[in-house]
Chain A
Amino acid sequence: MSVTPTIPLDAQGIHHGFLKLPHSRNESAWGSVMVPITVIANGTGPTALLTGANHGDEYEGPIALQELAIILQPDQITGRVIILPMMNHPAFAAGTRCSPIDGANMNRSFPGRADGTLTQKLCHYIATTLVPQADIVLDFHSGGRTLDFLPFAAAHILEDKAQEAACMAAMQAFNAPYSVRMLEIDAAGMFDTEVERQGKTFVTTELGGAGTSTPRTVAIARKGIRNLHDPCGHHDGNTPKCTNRNPRHAG
């Protein structure tokens, strides 16, 4: 496995570190790409995988997840939260949708390849190591530099109706101003598709866009994370209850 975490993924408590992926190049012959990761675990329970910056120019997820990584305490959960605020770190650091290293769109590169390009290797590790350990996956998206959205959480119509119901419940629990049964233009290679193929509960978002964020859209992301604690079995005595009981639905 070419990707190695610098922290244990199964230890109790709080660990901040990196997914280290060797990247030999002109500027650094034995260099690596370092993808920031935080794992917070307490006892035995479900695992939530929370990801941002799958596309590098979308900011609500990274902000809300960077904050979560410093405020979430183990005694607020039963189980484990794996946080990748900047999952596609090369693209995030460049402020671009796709990776500047190989030009790849991470969200068209799943499940990746162990012997592929840098983005494919990263996707392969996430798909084969992290996703199998997760019970629920929340992947934050926004419009990036070329789109702007009404803020919504989304789930997909799936063949497995029990899985679809779990995804829709997670979408509703997130409780964005809008909830969407989402039809993808091109589902091949998406993180969504791979996570759902593995039978996991998956919810995604589109929150604003235009290459930036606003206090309003970040607040939606922040609240959605808190609201999701319930369906994935986590306990947080300070979790605010949903304030919008009747989100509008589209799809």
Chain B
Amino acid sequence: MPDDSCFLFCEQAGMIEYLAELGDKIEQNQPPARIWPTDRTGIPPMTVHAKRGGILTARHVPGLVQMGDFISLIAVETM
């Protein structure tokens, strides 16, 4: 966990869909998750982008997220 770029936080409340499993490798700018609106249909989700590459090490539960919730920890394998 080299710096703050490991952490992603929620900037839109909604229903979170993870696009990677814990343990999956994620490239920088690849989306570990996207957030769907919960009050209407027909609106695309907001995609969350990784600020660094690494391994998806922690994620949020349960299925709804609020503003500011922790979304993901992307840690770096060093050995």
Chain A interfacial positions (CB closer than 8 Å to B):
14, 16, 18, 34, 36-38, 57, 59, 62-63, 66-67, 69-70, 83, 85-86, 92-93, 95, 145, 210-216, 218
Contacts and interface: CB of A to CB of B under 8 A. Distances in A.
Interface string B3-38: 000000000000101111100000000000000111
Query: Is chain B's interface secondary structure helix, strand, loop, or mixed overall?
Result: loop
Contacts of B39: 34, 36, 93
B44 interface: yes
Contacts of A213: 17-18, 63
Query: Is chain A's interface secondary structure helix, strand, loop, or mixed overall?
Result: mixed
Given A59-B15, A63-B17, A212 B62 contact: yes
Given A16-B40, A34-B39, A213-B17, A66 B61 contact: no
Contacts of B62: 57, 59, 95, 145, 210-212
A69 B42 CA distance: 6
B68 interface: no
Nearest to A69: B41
B78 to A, nearest CB: 26
Contacts of A69: 41-42
A158 B41 CA distance: 34
Contacts of A34: 39
